[in-house]
Amino acid sequence: MTSLSAEHGRPPASPRETPAGRFGALRRHRRWLLALAVAALLAQMAAAMLTTAVRQSPTNDEPAYVGAGAFYVYEHDLRYNPEHPPLGKLLVGAGVALGGARFDAAFTGSQYAVGRHLLYGSGNDAQRVLLAARLPVIVLTLLFGLVVFAFARDLAGPLGGLGALALYSFSPDVIAHGSLATLDVPMAGFLLTAVWLLWRARRRPRRCLPLAGLALGAAVATKMSALPAVPVLVGLAAVSVWSAGRGRSPSRRRLLAACALSAAGIAVLVVTVVWASYLAVDPRLHWTAPADVPSIGGARGLAAGLLPFPEPFRDGMRVQFGFEDLRWTGFLFGRVYLGSLWYYLPAALLVKTPLGTLALWAAGITALLAVPRLRPAAPYVLLPAAVLLAAAMTGDRDLGVRYAIFLPMFLAVAAAGLTAVRWRWTRAVAGALVLFTAASSLRAFPFYLPYSNEAFGGPARTHLHLHDSNVDWGQDLRRLADRLRERHAGEKVWLAYKGQGVPSYYGIRASDPLTVPPGRVRGLLVVSNTWIAKSDPRLAPLIGTAERIGGVGHSITIFRRP
């Protein structure tokens, strides 16, 4: 007997091809389910970042960026914060302007003083202005999550894309720095976007290469630390054009010429975007080099002088080189030292990355290098991250994993490669590690800045291993004010605070314990954990004779001195 399907010219469907019950419904609606899963991951990330942004007082660098960005938008003047290009600060300043902040153009002072005056001395609600400045970075961070998902999906399919997005959206470091009005996450996100577009240019070079050049230019126009990646991405542009052209069988000479022209075009776009970011602030590019711009000789000075960027960019490079020539105090695993340790960033990342993420990073890197169909992506995902990490490790400022914030982005994409491994339990193990990462991140809520993983005791013990922007960046003045008001009303407070916030604005009435003889310091002694880590000789005798009675946000310790 002929089946109904055969009568209509179709072979009968096999049981495997026939969707049944709820599994069939899942297959039919998998696009909507995928979109829902992506939205859910980004929504929880947005909630975490917004909660963090609302509760935290200014971190150490934010007043400089907020003040400079507002000055760019309101006054079209580049004088403040020349050590960084203007694009990221323009976005921050746009947030301030859209938030309706009052701006006092007559005030003069250092870049930090201008930022503090905007927040605390111009009749503004400081936290409202700060939230307005942070919102553009939060939005960018969420959009970069879509790039992580799209890049990983291109490599390993929808499941790999979801896994990569989960690692990104639950990354404590990305949440912490993506909720601040700083430049680290925007630079890294623009760079990842450029690499993703270069990968897609292997199939659509004419559409994707110009966009990749613009994204790379945006990275450099946000932060100079993107510069070491420029030669790498220019080379990858040539590789993408070569890969795209091989299937179309042009002559070898013409293909090589196309590769060279494409690489040159990317470089020209980078320079163009950087120039455009400066001209957007000041179309006439009035610039007088500040008196404190150092004179840099040797190869570094030659590089700063020869790069085809605006003069304020080159002066900013000289300022950055001058910072690198200073002697900074570092702290790692209880040891205080001057200078830098070459292994500081890998060690700090080991502390501040969830254990599940570390395992998935290692497995993903192995998969990219071992699985034949993923191997072409390895240079795109791994090489820029490796070059940037090597450049960051040569720096002299051991101040935080924010200098390597690109790693959680790039290696989330790499981790997606694990889903391409066809071992029986691979996906189950990968899913379990993602859940472990999510649980570790959620347990830290809302203290993402001082996060450390379970092997190092969690956020409460991070200050024993690291300092500065890894744990205590001045972010907890609001929480300290609440604690003093609720538990210690009327008591004498001595405050040794490391940060750019203004304690009195939050209602903290405190004296400086370093301005009086130690015997007069009685009552509550409140100390930022970075000062404790640095073993300041003026504070050490006071702390040594005091009783620890509590902490605030894992960044401030409260003592009582009889």
In this predicted model, what pLDDT tens digit does every residue of 364-396 receive, in sequence order? 999 999 999 999 999 999 999 999 999 999 999
441's CB contacts (< 8 A; 6+ apart) are 170, 171, 172, 175, 354, 448, 451
Containing 14, the helix (H) or strand (E) segment is: none
Question: What are the structure tokens assigned to 129, written together?
Answer: 């202005």
The single-letter DSSP state of residue 527 is E
Q: Per the domain annotation, does 195 fall within a domain?
A: no
* pLDDT for the residue numbered 426: 85
Q: Per the domain annotation, does 549 fall within a domain?
A: yes
Task: Please identify every stretch of the chain with a pLDDT value under 70, giving residue numbers as ranges.
Answer: 1-28, 247, 249
Q: Per the domain annotation, does 181 fall within a domain?
A: no
Q: Per the domain annotation, does 26 fall within a domain?
A: no
Total domains present in the chain: 1
**The tokens 């982005």 sit on which residue?**
409
Taking a C-beta distance cutoff of 8 angstroms, is the pair 261, 209 a contact?
no
* pLDDT for the residue numbered 24: 59
Q: Per the domain annotation, does 216 fall within a domain?
A: no
Question: What are the structure tokens assigned to 346, written together?
Answer: 């890998």
SS3 264: helix
SS3 337: strand
The rounded distance, in Å, linking the Cα atoms of 175 and 348 is: 17
Q: Per the domain annotation, does 261 fall within a domain?
A: no
Q: Per the domain annotation, does 501 fall within a domain?
A: yes
pTM above 0.85, yes or no: yes
**Domain range enclosing 549:** 476-561
* pLDDT for the residue numbered 21: 52
Tell me the backbone φ, ψ of residue 322, rounded to 5 degrees.
-65, -40
Cβ atoms within 10 A of the Cβ of 159, count? 17
Containing 558, the helix (H) or strand (E) segment is: strand 556-561
Cβ atoms within 10 A of the Cβ of 386, count? 14
Tell me the backbone φ, ψ of residue 226, rounded to 5 degrees.
-80, -15
- Strands (E) located in 151-304: none
Q: How far is CA 34 from CA 27, 48, 121, 144, 163, in A?
A: 11, 22, 48, 17, 12
**The tokens 């001209």 sit on which residue?**
279
The rounded distance, in Å, linking the Cα atoms of 217 and 555 is: 36
